[in-house]
Amino acid sequence: MQRRWLAACLAALVLAVGACGGDDGSEATDTTGADGDASATTGTEGDTSATTGAEGESGAATGSIEVVHAWTGSEGEAFEAVAAGFEEANPEATVELIQIPFGEMSSQLTQQFAAGSAPDVMTALPGLIRLFAEQDFLQPMDAQWDTWVEDGQYNEALRTIATAEDGVTYGVWFKGNVNGLVWYRPSTLEELGVEVPETWADWEAALQAAADAGMEPVAVGGADQWPLTQWSDPFLLRIAGIDAFQGLIDGTTSWDDPAVVSSFEGLGQFISDYFPDNALDRGFVEATCAWVRGDAAFLNQGAFVNLVAPAECDESLVAGEDFTFFHMPAIEGDGEPPVFISGDLFVVNAESDAPELATAFATYLGSAEAQTIWAEQGGYIAPNADVAVDVYPNENDARAAELWPSDADAEAGYDLDDFIGGEVQATERAALQGFVQNQDVEAFIGEMTSVAQSVQGG
């Protein structure tokens, strides 16, 4: 994309909280108070066996660093355990964890970089990585990625997501998520007299059976805006295809491309046929709990539902028994569609006062040792292919992890609006709410084409 687009979006971040941010469900579980104060904790607790230090040697890293993340509650505790694993292996190193609410991450980091007070290591989504890399704020991680790809821990598709416009890889994968998962309760399907859908036609038949029974076919948390992208992205990947999807990110595909238009025509018909009247009245958690209660037959969301459903709706739920999922089928043809993913990456401040320690910690976050610590606790997908499937505590987590695009030739589309960020992201989320109301493809495409051309300078 053009440099002026990057500069414009970076400037906009200071004005709009979370403009280039995104989510993989973190917004639903963020319990930080409205005052937005960052909270700091030191990862000193937890019993782990991680041994990764600087240069991969136990005990080699020394000094102190600040690490910014967005997790709270049980997720925050899990990340503390990961940081504790690093400190245990490196007794001379101190990792101070600073939590910033997810929606404020982009604006706060932008302001800190401008003031010269940015943390040593921080979480950043792909759009933000590109913006910060353009300003020379980040430390390259190509050496680590060369090793990871050569060893088969990651593939080139995942590396591309962590790479900026200059061709340098700055991001490190830590927490993955697979989207386009259609969650259901076996008891509901039994009540409806339908089998687990294997094809798009099967799913439509099940959706119609739910409607005929007076049940909402799908639960939709459109009040929070971002859940609507959980519908638009799978339709784009399944109808327009992976190349057009990626083209919307890099500007080689326009929003008025016939393949993109066709995707939203398909989504519009689906909304007309199966979305409930309250699709914009509920937020993500409300919609999830409505599905848990049996008000709706299906919930299309990411793997994080495996954590949210018991934690927020019904603690008695047993993952893999009381609720589970199938991967949304291909809409056209019989092949397996590209995987729709999102997740959390970390970057290193190029001006860190402790560059060796910061790089060592980021390298550790990308390792199988670090990721296994959280994977064992559940509600998490490890991006590193060396994390064994049998470490996951339940069937749902393990099945979702198996969908993660770890093969060398795997195709994956990263959450579109999170990847693009900025004004385009904000416009798409709001425009999707209007699209749910009226299914006006021409109006939606016109609005998206206009904002993309404006931001990209086309």
Q: Note the pLDDT tens digit of each residue in 235-293.
A: 999 999 999 999 999 899 999 999 999 999 999 999 999 999 999 999 999 999 999 99
Say whether both 190 and 128 belong to one domain. Answer: no
pLDDT(153) > 60 = yes
Q: Note the pLDDT tens digit of each residue in 94-122.
A: 999 999 998 899 999 999 999 999 999 99
Q: Which of 357, 377, 392 is the last residue of a domain?
A: 392
Q: Which pLDDT value is given to residue 46? A: 35
Across the range 340-349, mean pLDDT stands at 97
pLDDT(182) > 90 = yes
Say whether both 259 and 359 belong to one domain. Answer: no
Give the total number of structural domains in the chain. Answer: 2
Q: How confident is the model at residue 28 (pLDDT cuts 50, 70, 90)?
A: very low
Sign of the Cα pseudo-torsion (209, 212, 214, 218, in order): positive
pLDDT(42) > 60 = no
Residue 91 inside a domain? The answer is: yes
Rounded to the nearest integer, the mean pLDDT of the chain is 88
Say whether both 243 and 363 belong to one domain. Answer: no
Q: Note the pLDDT tens digit of each residue in 187-229.
A: 999 999 999 999 999 999 999 999 999 999 999 999 999 999 9
Residue 9 inside a domain? The answer is: no
Q: Find residue 216's DSSP bridge partners.
A: 296
CB 338 within 8 A of CB 237: yes
The span from the CA of 53 to the CA of 358, in Å, is: 11
Say whether both 99 and 138 belong to one domain. Answer: yes
- CATH number for position 311: 3.40.190.10
CA angle 281, 283, 287 (to 5 degrees): 90
**Which pair of tokens denotes residue 219?**
């639960």
CB 320 within 8 A of CB 395: yes
Selected residue with higher pLDDT from 40 and 124: 124
Q: How confident is the model at residue 422 (pLDDT cuts 50, 70, 90)?
A: confident
Tell me which residue range forms the domain holding 63: 16-176+343-392
Residue 3 inside a domain? The answer is: no
Say whether both 190 and 46 belong to one domain. Answer: no
Say whether both 335 and 347 belong to one domain. Answer: no
Say whether both 277 and 166 belong to one domain. Answer: no
Residue 155 inside a domain? The answer is: yes
pLDDT(457) > 90 = no
Which one, of 165, 168, 214, lies nearest residue 188 by Cα? 214
Q: Which pLDDT value is given to residue 59? A: 59
Q: Note the pLDDT tens digit of each residue in 318-329.
A: 999 999 999 999
Say whether both 150 and 216 belong to one domain. Answer: no
Residue 2 inside a domain? The answer is: no
Say whether both 444 and 386 belong to one domain. Answer: no
CB 308 within 8 A of CB 28: yes
Say whether both 355 and 256 belong to one domain. Answer: no
The span from the CA of 263 to the CA of 241, in Å, is: 9
Residue 400 inside a domain? The answer is: no
Residue 6 inside a domain? The answer is: no
Say whether both 139 and 65 belong to one domain. Answer: yes
Q: Kindly state the DSSP code that residue 349 receives in the 8-state scheme.
A: B
Residue 406 inside a domain? The answer is: no
